Amino acid sequence: MALTKICKAFHDLTPNELYDMLRLRSEVFVVEQQCVFLDMDDKDQVCHHVLFYNQDNVLVATSRLVPVGVSYPDMMSIGRIVTSQLVRGTGVGQELVDYSIQECYRLFGQGPIRIGAQLYAKKFYERFGFEQSSEVYDEDGIDHIKMVKQV
């Protein structure tokens, strides 16, 4: 699948890119997963954002690259990892995580990366070298675990 891959600081996003990103996150996290939570948590403004557009210029995947000290005092992070139903099962999610890891290293340097993963996705993230680093905890009614990828 031909994808246009973009990584931009928040202030470099166009209004349409910002809208596309927030819409996809809302479609999946709020509507599909039926999770009422405040997605806009005042972190987006200091992060970089990965956007994958398909050949029809539809946003099909996105993630948020978080510098050290924003979500975790000692580690960078990847968050808001989401794929559209349009591309599930096609490998786009794997491309998104791999690209996001490489962009973290490019932007923030080599170092460990921490994520807060939905428990059901544990095996998916283990493929990239993430290891569980916490007990299961509830976040907005969904079981999560912390995971860390060492360098």
Domain range for 105 = 4-149
Cα 85 vs. chain centroid, distance in angstroms?
15
Q: How many domains does the chain have?
A: 1
Q: What is the pLDDT of residue 143?
A: 94
Q: Is the pLDDT confidence value at 111 over 90?
A: yes
Which residue, 69, 70, 62, is CA-closest to 21? 62
Helix (H, G, I), strand (E, B) or coil at 76: strand
Question: Taking the model in full, what pTM does it have?
Answer: 0.95
Q: Which pLDDT tens digit goes with each residue over 2-25?
A: 999 999 999 999 999 999 999 999
Q: Where are the alpha helices (DSSP H) in 6-151?
A: 15-25, 92-108, 122-126
Q: What is the pLDDT of residue 33?
A: 84
Q: Which pLDDT tens digit goes with each residue over 64-89?
A: 999 999 999 999 999 999 999 999 99
CATH code, domain carrying 24 = 3.40.630.30
* Phi then psi dihedrals of residue 32, to 5 deg: -65, -45
| % of the chain residues with pLDDT over 70 | 100
Q: What is the pLDDT of residue 38?
A: 77
Which residue, 119, 117, 107, is CA-closest to 149? 117
Q: What is the pLDDT of residue 140?
A: 85
Mean of the pLDDT values across residues 58-62?
98
Q: What is the pLDDT of residue 30?
A: 83
Tell me the residue type at 86: L
Neighbours of 138 (CB within 10 A): 8
Q: Is the pLDDT confidence value at 112 over 80?
A: yes
